[in-house]
């Protein structure tokens, strides 16, 4: 069974009729890569351009130009060419959006309507997304560069699943009645926090939209969301679908723009009650400081990572190679939780290196709209150059370049799958978040040693363990300082599984029941009992 599962990871040979039931299992985004049984393929390449209809800001239920009239280009990572020009929001547009969200929260129907009705609107939205899955997948691939098949069969179904999940929570959020020491009746109410500011990244635009917007709406809040400037298109599209589903005006406002202008204005806005940010650790520090200096709004941060993936000596090497490859190279290596430090036991190290190299060389890179492609381009020229600098750094540090290390072609932002061996902890490729298709492989001797080395990092987002020994799995799982530990799997992102990091990988958790706490206030209501005899 396990051998079949590994062979399915990147299979492109089965019927696409299973797309609606796979729920992203092929990419570990639904029930996990251990449970999928079939995968979908694209029978014919999709060739953009598709029609781009939504490029303006969404404020108070309307698509509007930016106050300045400025626009910025969003680019096709395959070519570097312009897809569309998008309204460039700045501080004035954030003011307009926050004002609309505040009015919708204070005076509008959303926080006051029944939780059941909120649930129905969110479900109607999810149904509309399902009807527009192909267009959204095309748009996500065109703007981001991820394989179309990944967007279509994994990320869009998971997006829908997340909103079904949060719709189910909307009418199940309730308070408590607690006993008091004296003659008092005590209620604990869980109320929406107010206007939520949300800033999402470019690597998973739709999924990060769902992680942020889903729980905020389920709890009855209103939202101002800033998209990443590299990938604004799908958030604008689904905002239109939300209003078609009946979401009241002003509840969801979307501002596209740059971090130092729109992002900073949102983080520091005095009338934003809560802030959620996903992105780099360095930017997260700035966001936290801006929020603290304004009105001390609570902040959740999902930040960077340098996740260890530990291959123990009892591992089936072929399966371990495939899983470690997936853990690092998925989504062009542009995952905050990527297994970017592969620790391999010394007894199997040499064999693992040869097979990891062969697997990376075999990886298919190219136009993400074409059938059979596993890896598309990096997001933009800045990220492309950053990855190449880290590759040069690895070479200069005397790590062994086993394969890759170069760009592919002369157009777009494609990089060869790259593998380094003989990597040491003090090398920048072992310490810094590269965010690209660069696998660094380190050697270890025993469990205590690898736990200590794996924890010697400023990050603590995730970790992976590959072993057949339950005692080893338990020891590593408890010893690793990370918010998620995947054992004999990786990148399993079920809607109910909380996600977040230790140390400089962030504050708070997203997904699951824990995400609701980010968008609720707790209020105690105390009143005297007239007849204490009934106590």
Tell me the C-alpha distance between 77 and 389, whole Å: 19
Tell me, yes or no, if 130 is annotated catalytic: no
Task: Single out the catalytic residue among 302, 402, 433, 510.
Answer: 302
Tell me the C-alpha distance between 120 and 299, whole Å: 29
263 half-sphere exposure, CB direction, 13 A CA radius: 20
Max CA separation in the chain (angstroms): 84
What is the dihedral sign for C-alpha 314, 320, 324, 327?
negative
| Short-list 494, 407, 453, 398, CA closest to 36 | 494
User: Is 50 in a helix, a strand, or coil?
Assistant: coil
Sorted by sequence, the CB contacts under 8 Å of residue 187 that are 6+ apart come out as 175, 176, 177, 178, 524, 525
List strand residue ranges (DSSP E) for 320-437, in order.
Answer: 341-345, 400-403, 418-421
Omega before 59 cis (within 30°)? no
Q: Tell me how far the alpha carbon of residue 168 is from its chain's centroid.
A: 21
**For residue 244, what are the CA distances in angstroms to 55, 116, 238, 247, 379?**
17, 18, 10, 7, 30
Q: Which structure tokens are listed for 241?
A: 């679908």
Q: Which structure tokens are listed for 26?
A: 């092929």
DSSP secondary structure string for all residues of 94-131:
HHHHHHHHHHHHHTSSTTTS-HHHHHHHHHHHHHHHHH
User: Is 43 in a helix, a strand, or coil?
Assistant: coil
- List residues bridging with 400 in a β-sheet: 421
The catalytic residue positions are 302
């Amino acid at each position: 069974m396990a051998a079949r599962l590994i062979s399915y990871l990147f299979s492109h040979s089965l019927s696409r009729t299973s797309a609606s039931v796979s729920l992203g299992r092929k990419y570990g985004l639904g029930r996990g890569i251990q449970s999928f049984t079939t995968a979908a393929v694209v029978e014919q390449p999709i060739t953009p351009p598709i029609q781009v209809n939504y490029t303006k800001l969404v404020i108070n239920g309307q698509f509007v130009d930016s106050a300045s009239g400025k626009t910025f280009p969003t680019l096709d990572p395959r070519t570097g060419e312009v897809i569309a020009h998008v309204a460039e929001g700045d501080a004035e547009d954030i003011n307009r959006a926050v004002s609309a969200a505040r009015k919708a929260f204070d005076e509008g129907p959303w926080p006051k309507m029944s939780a059941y009705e909120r649930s129905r609107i969110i479900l109607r939205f999810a149904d509309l997304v399902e009807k527009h899955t192909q267009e959204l997948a095309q748009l996500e691939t065109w703007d981001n560069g991820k394989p179309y098949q990944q967007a279509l069969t994994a990320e869009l179904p998971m997006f829908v699943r997340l909103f079904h999940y949060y719709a189910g929570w909307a009418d199940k959020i309730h308070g408590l009645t607690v006993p008091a020491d004296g003659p008092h009746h005590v209620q604990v109410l869980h109320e929406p926090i107010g206007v939520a500011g949300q800033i999402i990244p470019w690597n998973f635009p739709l999924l990060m939209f769902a992680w942020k917007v889903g729980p905020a709406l389920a709890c009855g809040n209103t939202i101002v969301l800033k998209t990443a400037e590299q990938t604004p298109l799908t958030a604008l599209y689904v905002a239109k679908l939300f209003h078609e589903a009946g979401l009241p005006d002003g509840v969801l406002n979307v501002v596209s723009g740059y971090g130092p202008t729109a992002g900073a204005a949102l983080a520091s806005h005095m009338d934003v009650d809560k802030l959620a940010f996903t992105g780099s650790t360095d930017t997260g520090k700035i966001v936290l400081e801006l929020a603290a200096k304004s009105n001390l709004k609570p902040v959740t941060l999902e930040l960077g990572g340098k996740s260890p993936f530990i291959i123990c000596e009892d591992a089936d090497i072929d399966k371990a190679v495939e899983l470690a490859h997936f853990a690092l190279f998925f989504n062009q290596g542009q995952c905050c939780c990527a297994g970017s430090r592969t620790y391999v036991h010394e007894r199997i190290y040499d064999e693992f290196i040869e097979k990891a190299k062969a697997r990376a060389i075999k990886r298919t890179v190219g136009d993400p709209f074409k059938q059979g492609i596993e890896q598309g381009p990096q997001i933009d020229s800045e990220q492309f150059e950053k990855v190449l600098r880290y590759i040069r750094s690895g070479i200069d540090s005397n790590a062994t370049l086993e394969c890759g290390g170069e760009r592919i072609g002369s157009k777009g932002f494609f990089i060869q799958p790259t593998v380094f061996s003989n990597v040491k902890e003090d090398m920048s490729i072992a310490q810094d978040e590269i965010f690209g298709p660069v696998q660094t492989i380190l050697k270890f001797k025993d469990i205590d040693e690898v736990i200590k080395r794996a924890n010697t990092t400023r990050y603590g987002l995730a970790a992976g363990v590959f072993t057949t020994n339950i005692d080893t799995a338990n020891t590593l799982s408890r010893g690793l300082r990370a918010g998620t530990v995947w054992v004999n799997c990786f990148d399993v992102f079920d809607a109910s599984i909380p996600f977040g990091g230790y140390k400089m990988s962030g504050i708070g958790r997203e997904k699951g029941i824990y995400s609701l706490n980010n968008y609720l206030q707790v209020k105690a209501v105390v009143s005297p009992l007239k007849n204490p005899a009934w106590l």
